[in-house]
Structure 1
Amino acid sequence: MSLTAPPAPRITYSAVLGSPYVARLLGGTLTGRLPNAMAPVAILLWATASGSSIGFGGLLSALYRLSSALAQPVKGRLMDRHGQSAVHLPAALLNSALLVALPLAGPCGGAGLATAIVVTGGLTTPALEAGLRALWPSVLPEPRLRHAALALDTGTQGLLYIVGPLLVTALASAYTPAVALAATAALGLAGTATVALAPPSRRWRPEQPQSQDAAQTSQLATPGVLLLFAALTGVGFAIGSLNVWSIAMAEHHHQDMLAGIIPAAFSISSFLGGLIYGRRTWPGTTTRRLIIATGAFLAGWLPLLALLGPYAAIAAVAVPGAFLTVVVACAYVTTDALAPAGRTSEAYAWLILAIGAGQSAGTALAGRLAEQPLASAALPAAGAAFALTILLAARRRLGPTAQRQRGRHRRPLPGRHSTP
């Protein structure tokens, strides 16, 4: 008589999306986060259409992105203390009202009022991404379904930055930038309400410490967590420098469409890579998969050093794109394992901020080196190499032993660290 267990049934995305509340939460989060890609473009178009310089419009757009990123950990901490709905809904209402009010800033208060509205609007963007990641364990207790949902969730994020700017440009061209801002506000409010009013979000409360030694492990900023976030700034750096490199490629080859096609190829490949990754379980620990995926992410950037032509460049960026979702998904699982009970939303928010800070640094440096083709092409690989170096140095602080030490006061979920 064979004692070998039958193979587990294959995970399908229809099973994931058919689970209670999954489609609503994922769809609402994507809709509510679409303004993150729309608002900076809409703000820039509104500023230039109102007679301001493109430099001032770009400053407003950058301030919106920066203030939104910096406020993420604060909103994560508030969610861990007061629940998700109590934070999401007021933030969405205020953010939407400010976006709609922005067109009134020109005639009423000029540049100063416009800047204040934009910064406050960025500070009040709902922390939907961190909130959704915190909901998955309660919505999908089955580890294999949760693994697939996280890969699907992570893989779809890049598509927002393709759809969002296209939608804003279409609305501004067909109507006015003010209409684009109003549509951005409406989508953000509708998506956030869809999530915040769903029973899992309304009922969600952070997991609380259950042992006497919880106070000793309640610190979030441990060496392992800090090293993981430092590595993710390198991943963000690669993404941010790619966007500028694609513009430089477009100018060098006199093909304006390359500026959009290259990032789109990267994002679509990331989505497809996430779908493949989420459909099956993988051997080894999460830390091992994180390091291997980051190594493949780095290897994928190296062909750019050959100063490829347009078509080869489009094909080349699809390789690191395919591994991006794997890197980020594994990073979220590792963060969940290392973060203390009651602070998971805040930890996820810091992870998001780390990637965003890296993107900003990569964009800034790539802009300075845009006229040097080899240096510009080397920046994505440099960011990925930084990430891999940090992860290799930190692997003992991220592995199962460190996770057990950090998580000894947490209520374990079935298969929590073995599947995603």
Structure 2
Amino acid sequence: MSPTASAVSPPRIIYGAVLGSPYAARLLGGTLIGRLPNGMAPVAIVLWTLAAGRSIALGGLLSALYGLASVLSQPVKGRLMDRYGQRAVHLPAAVLNSSLLITLPLAAPHGGPALATAIVVAAGLTAPPLEAGLRALWPSVLPDLRLRHAALALDTGTQGLLYIVGPLLAAALASTYSPAAALAITAALGLAGTLVVATAPPSRNRRPTPTTSSAGTARRLASPQLASLFVALAGVGCAIGALNVLAVAMSDAHGQQMLSGLLPAAFSASSFLGGLVYGRRTWPGSTTRQLVFGSAAFLTGWLPLLALHNPYAATAAVALPGAFLTVVVACAYVTTDALTPTGRTSEAYAWLICSIGVGQAAGTALAGRLADHALALAALPAAGAAFALTVLLLTRPDQGAVRRDRHRCRHA
């Protein structure tokens, strides 16, 4: 290749270089294993509830409470990691979470729905904040900005696979053994993955970064730009949450149960592949422009669902917004890092995760109310994406801050 061509073409990233960096594969693999309960526990809880002779309504409620408690507690756990270090948070959280999941089938039958609810909520509250912790470690593990860019895309893209593998694994374990065994293995995987991460030197040795002024830091973390970014990401979460209900409604309308899992699986698989493509090279334009472009493409991808009535055409169509989900989320993490003061990154990442999770819960709830109105239900994912894009266009993050972050990382 000529020097001219080399100068014009953005450099490609080899994922082997990312995974070959010290501790990168260990941290990513441990986080994925430790976060499998996020995909397994909700299904295992529903299946255990049914096996115990309770209603599916109770099972659905317990499952939703587990996910909501986990999401809402993220900022608190992120703040604790910034203040006391990752190991001091990850290990106690993993032990408590695993113990509670194992306790559920043993204790709940003696206390009825009230005790089951208390155990499930406590288990969700103590889920280890591995995702936010991993994102906070990438700068120290991968000082090279291009490798970190690829790692973030790979990390973000693989998260969707948890919600394909997790439910399938939980269902298979419950069918082969029992729902109680599925909960026990879920607990074991969560504890094992957390141990892999927490005992790795980058996580074990991470120390809190002193801040100059706690009051000033608190104001900075709650800046309008950062808050608007989190509000926009709630719209992205709304689209994802609505998709799950849309898939169930479509499977019911066409009498094909497999569609309820096929649409989310196609969306998640496309997100993974889109992340691999995005992380393979350095793209032109600032992070802000990539974020806005990705959000616009994410919105455009949902529009065909308004006209598609064939379930398999709809399954193919959701691959387009799925392909741009990783672009949006990865750029949002980079922007969050640029706008967050030193010593508060874990908490900021946790707020980002929380905003998407709350948006998902809202999208699922709204979609449930619209389940009998096919056109409105099909339009809800696009509405969530449109909300996200509108907020980003009205309150663009400071491009200068992002550029300063890039400059700082390049000379780190």
Corresponding residue for 2:97?
Answer: 95
- In the alignment, is the contact (CA less than 8 A) between 2:287 and 2:402 conserved in 1? no
SS in 1 for 2:410: coil
Tell me the CA shift for residue 215 of structure 1. Answer: 5.7
TM-score with structure 2 length normalisation? 0.95
CA contact (8 A) 2:11 2:281 kept: no
1:94-130 Cα distance to aligned partner (Å, 9 max, x none): 1101111111123432222211111111110000000
Partner of 1:32: 34
Aligned match of 1:144: 146
Separation in 1, partners of 2:123, 2:217? 35
Q: Give the letter for the 1:267 counterpart.
A: S
In the TM superposition, residue 206 of structure 1 has moved relative to its aligned partner by: 4.2
**Please, which runs of 5 or more residues in structure 1 have no aligned partner?**
none
User: Given the alignment of the two structures, is residue 356 of structure 1 paired with residue 352 of structure 2, yes or no?
Assistant: no
Asked whether 1:46 is paired with 2:42, we answer no
1:329-408 → structure 2 map (5 Å cutoff)? 329-395=330-396, 398-403=397-402
**What do residues 363-397 of structure 1 show as CA deviations (whole Å, max 9, x unaligned)?**
001111111111010000000000000000011xx
Change (3 A) 1:148 1:310: same
Match of 1:153 in 2: 155
Task: Identify if the C-alpha distance between structure 1 residues 17 and 248 changes in structure 2 by more than 3 Å, giving closer, same or farther.
Answer: same
Contact 2:242 2:363 in 1 (8 A): yes
| Alignment deviations for residues 10-63 of structure 1 (CA, whole Å, 9 cap, x no partner) | 311111111110110000000000001111111111111011111111111111
Alignment match, 1:312: 313
1:81 aligns with 83
Note the C-alpha offset of 1:196: 0.3
1:414 aligns with 2:394: no
262-271 or 44-53, larger mean C-alpha shift: 44-53
Aligned residue in 2 for 1:245: 246
| Aligned with residue 59 of structure 1, among 53, 58, 61 | 61
CA–CA distance in 2 between the matches of 1:390 and 1:43?
Answer: 36
Q: 1:13 to 1:311 in 2, by over 3 A?
A: same
Q: Structure 2 regions of 5+ residues with no counterpart?
A: none
SS in 2 for 1:10: coil
Q: Determine if contact 1:270/1:323 at 8 Å carries over to the other structure.
A: yes
* 1:358 CA drift (Å): 0.5
Letter in 1 for 2:270: S
Q: How many matched pairs?
A: 408
Deviations 1:118-145 (A, max 9, x none): 1111110000000000000000000010
1:295 aligns to what? Answer: 296
The whole-number CA distance in structure 1 between the counterparts of 2:139 and 2:43 is 34
**After alignment, is 168-177 or 301-310 more displaced?**
301-310
Question: How much has 1:276 moved relative to structure 2?
Answer: 0.1
Change (3 A) 1:97 1:107: same
SS of match in other structure, 1:66: helix
Shift of 1:412: 2.6
Between the aligned partners of 2:118 and 2:83, the Cα distance in structure 1 is: 28
1:201-233 CA-partner distances (Å, limit 9, x unpaired): 011124444xx6886455211100110000000
Residues 285-323 of structure 1: per-residue CA shift (max 9 Å, x gap): 100000000000000000111133112101110000000
Tell me, yes or no, if structure 1 residue 181 matches structure 2 residue 177: no
